[in-house]
Structure 1
Amino acid sequence: MIVSDKEKVIKAFSDAFEGQTYERIFFAPGRVNLIGEHTDYNGGFVFPAALTQGTYIAVRQRNDGLYRLISGNMENHVQFSNQELHYLESHTWGNYIKGVLHAFDEKGYSLNGADLYVWGNIPNGAGLSSSASLEMVAAFMVSELTGADLSRVELAKLSQIVENQFMGVNSGIMDQFAVGLGEKDHALFIDTASLDYEKVPLDLGQYKVVITNTNKRRELADSKYNERRAECEEGLRQLKDLGLQIQSLSECTEADWQVHKVQIKDPTIRNRINHVVTENQRVIDAVNVLKNGELEAFGKLMDQSHESLATDYEVTGIELDHLVNIQRQIPGCIGSRMTGAGFGGCTVSLVSEEKLDVFFEQVLTEYEKAIGWAPTFYVSDAGSGVHELA
Structure 2
Amino acid sequence: MKQRLIDKFQEIYGEDGPVSVYFAPGRVNLIGDHTDYNGGHVFACAIAIGTYAVARKREDNRFRFYSLNYPEQGILEMNSGQMYYREEDGWGNYPKGVVRTFMKKGIQVKGGLDILYYGEIPKGLGIGSSASLTVVTGLILRDLLEIPDLSMVDIALFSQLTENEYLKTGGGIMDPFTIAMGKKDHAILLDTSNLSYIYAPLQLPHEKIIITNSGKPRDGVEDCVRQRRKECAEALKELQTVIAISNLSELTADVFEEVQEMIKDPVCLRRARHAVTENQRTMEAVKALEAGDVEEFGHLMNASHISLKEDYEVSGRELDILVEEAWKIGGVLGSRMMGAGFGGCTVSIVENSAVNDFISQVGENYYAQTGLKAEFYVVETGNGATVL
Name the TM-score, length of structure 1 as normaliser. Answer: 0.94
Deviates more, 1:348-357 or 1:80-89: 80-89
> How far apart are residue 222 of structure 1 and its match?
2.5
Amino acid at match of 2:84: H
Q: Does 1:160 align with 2:175?
A: no
Amino acid at match of 1:317: G
Task: Measure the CA separation in 1 of the matches of 2:89 and 2:227.
Answer: 26
Q: Which residue of 1 aligns with 2:182?
A: 182
Task: Render the CA deviation track for 1:107-150: whole Å, top value 9, x for unaligned.
Answer: 22314332211111111221101111111100111011122241
Task: Measure the CA separation in 2 of the matches of 1:321 and 1:386.
Answer: 33
The equivalent position to 2:53 in structure 1, one of 52, 57, 66, is 57
Q: Which residue of 2 aligns with 1:228?
A: 228
Ranges in structure 2 where 5+ consecutive residues have no aligned partner: none
Task: Measure the CA separation in 2 of the matches of 1:297 and 1:256.
Answer: 24
- Check whether the contact 1:127–1:342 (CA below 8 A) recurs between aligned residues: no
Q: Which residue of 2 aligns with 1:334?
A: 333
The equivalent position to 2:64 in structure 1, one of 65, 68, 71, is 68
Amino acid at match of 1:128: I
Task: Render the CA deviation track for 1:147-181: whole Å, top value 9, x for unaligned.
Answer: 22411111111111111111113322111110011
Task: Measure the CA separation in 2 of the matches of 1:41 and 1:21.
Answer: 44
Task: Measure the CA separation in 2 of the matches of 1:344 and 1:188.
Answer: 25
5 Å-filtered alignment, 1:286-301, equals 286-301=285-300
Task: Render the CA deviation track for 1:274-301: whole Å, top value 9, x for unaligned.
Answer: 1000000001111111111111111110
Amino acid at match of 2:73: N
3-state SS of the aligned residue for 1:83? helix
> How far apart are residue 18 of structure 1 and its match?
5.1
> How far apart are residue 263 of structure 1 and its match?
2.4
Task: Give the 3 Å change call, closer, same or farther, for CA 223–79 of structure 1 in structure 2.
Answer: farther
Q: Which residue of 2 aligns with 1:138?
A: 137
Q: Which residue of 2 aligns with 1:199?
A: 199
Task: Render the CA deviation track for 1:29-87: whole Å, top value 9, x for unaligned.
Answer: 00000000011111111110000010111112223432222112224243322221122
Task: Render the CA deviation track for 1:213-253: whole Å, top value 9, x for unaligned.
Answer: 1122323223323222222222222211x222111111122
Deviates more, 1:262-271 or 1:277-286: 262-271
Q: Which residue of 2 aligns with 1:209?
A: 209
Task: Measure the CA separation in 1 of the matches of 2:99 and 2:359.
Answer: 42
Q: Does 1:32 align with 2:31?
A: no
Q: Which residue of 2 aligns with 1:272?
A: 271
Q: Which residue of 1 aligns with 2:112?
A: 113
Task: Measure the CA separation in 2 of the matches of 1:193 and 1:273.
Answer: 16
Q: Which residue of 2 aligns with 1:382?
A: 381
Task: Measure the CA separation in 1 of the matches of 2:11 and 2:270.
Answer: 53
Q: Which residue of 2 aligns with 1:99?
A: 97
3-state SS of the aligned residue for 2:114? strand
Percentage identity across paired residues of the two chains: 42
Q: Which residue of 1 aligns with 2:170?
A: 170
5 Å-filtered alignment, 1:303-318, equals 303-318=302-317
Task: Give the 3 Å change call, closer, same or farther, for CA 22–271 of structure 1 in structure 2.
Answer: farther
Q: Which residue of 2 aligns with 1:83?
A: 81
Task: Measure the CA separation in 2 of the matches of 1:200 and 1:89.
Answer: 40
Task: Measure the CA separation in 1 of the matches of 2:117 and 2:325.
Answer: 36
Amino acid at match of 1:225: V
3-state SS of the aligned residue for 1:234? helix
Q: Which residue of 2 aligns with 1:10?
A: 6
Name the TM-score, length of structure 2 as normaliser. Answer: 0.95
> How far apart are residue 204 of structure 1 and its match?
2.3
> How far apart are residue 21 of structure 1 and its match?
7.1
Task: Give the 3 Å change call, closer, same or farther, for CA 119–22 of structure 1 in structure 2.
Answer: farther
> How far apart are residue 17 of structure 1 and its match?
3.0
Task: Give the 3 Å change call, closer, same or farther, for CA 256–147 of structure 1 in structure 2.
Answer: same
Q: Which residue of 2 aligns with 1:218?
A: 218
The equivalent position to 1:23 in structure 2, one of 19, 22, 42, is 19
Task: Give the 3 Å change call, closer, same or farther, for CA 222–76 of structure 1 in structure 2.
Answer: farther
> How far apart are residue 367 of structure 1 and its match?
1.4
- Check whether the contact 2:35–2:42 (CA below 8 A) recurs between aligned residues: yes
Task: Render the CA deviation track for 1:327-376: whole Å, top value 9, x for unaligned.
Answer: 11111111001111112221110101111111111111111222212111
Amino acid at match of 1:152: M
Deviates more, 1:15-24 or 1:351-360: 15-24
Deviates more, 1:60-69 or 1:343-352: 60-69
Task: Give the 3 Å change call, closer, same or farther, for CA 330–23 of structure 1 in structure 2.
Answer: same
Task: Measure the CA separation in 1 of the matches of 2:370 and 2:12.
Answer: 39
Task: Give the 3 Å change call, closer, same or farther, for CA 55–245 of structure 1 in structure 2.
Answer: same
Task: Render the CA deviation track for 1:190-228: whole Å, top value 9, x for unaligned.
Answer: 111121111111122411111111122323223323222
3-state SS of the aligned residue for 1:92? helix
Ranges in structure 1 where 5+ consecutive residues have no aligned partner: none
Task: Measure the CA separation in 2 of the matches of 1:120 and 1:371.
Answer: 29
Deviates more, 1:128-137 or 1:257-266: 257-266
Aligned-CA RMSD value: 1.6
Amino acid at match of 1:117: L
